[in-house]
Amino acid sequence: MKNSGKGLGRGGGRGRNNGGGFGAGGYCVCAKCGEKVSHQQGVKCTTLKCPKCGHTMIREELLNQNK
């Protein structure tokens, strides 16, 4: 029996951020007080705490998307 290729099409999505990574540069920003620190390659901003207020940091590009 030959497959006709008419399945439901699982997969094929673009993943997080619509397939666009933010790259190594940029900043991690505190959503609470606005403090900025340089983004380190391989370290997620959400694993960092703000040096000023202790709140969780977020990638600057993500913060700007939500505005």
| 47: phi then psi, degrees, rounded to nearest 5 | -90, -5
Q: Where are the alpha helices (DSSP H) in 1-67?
A: 60-65
Residue ranges of domains in the chain: 25-65
Residues 6+ apart with CB under 8 A from 41: 24
Q: Give pLDDT, residue 64.
A: 77
Task: Give 12-55 pLDDT, tens digit per residue.
Answer: 554 445 444 666 679 999 999 999 999 999 999 999 999 999 99
pTM passes above 0.75: no
pLDDT class for 3, splitting at 50, 70, 90? low
Bridge partners, residue 27, by sequence: 38
Per the CB < 8 A criterion, the answer to whether 36 and 59 are in contact is no
pLDDT at site 22: 66
